[in-house]
Amino acid sequence: VPNTYPSDINVTTLTSTSIYISWQPMPLFERNGIITVYNISYHSLQRNHNGIIQVDGSTLSNVLSNLLPYTTYNVTVRASTSVGFGPTS
């Protein structure tokens, strides 16, 4: 299980309903194994719209689409090894 979460998380608005999110992996000594997947969680701060996207452990970015137009979201990323998930960013 990783000791920490991915770093340098950046979110860029692409359209009124999509965002681009990218991050850097944690240092090797914090991973405690091979990162198998990343979970990207998002939830709307104004409305009830939530979700979790899972991407491959070699992926360091993703586009979240089909979001509610002109809505602010809280986005977090966490990594997993074959043993389990580490902390949330």
Q: Which tens digits make up the pLDDT trace of 30-60?
A: 999 999 999 999 999 888 899 999 999 999 9
Measured CA angle at 22 (ends 20, 26), to 5 deg: 165
Residue 3 DSSP code? S
* Ordered structural domains, the chain, with CATH: 7-80 (2.60.40.10)
Q: Average pLDDT of the chain?
A: 95
Tally of CA atoms within 13 A in the half-sphere of 33 that contains its CB: 15
Beta partners for 77? Answer: 40
Report pTM: 0.90
CA–CA dist 65, 85 (Å, integer): 24
Instruction: Kindly state the tokens that stand for 85.
Output: 């998930």
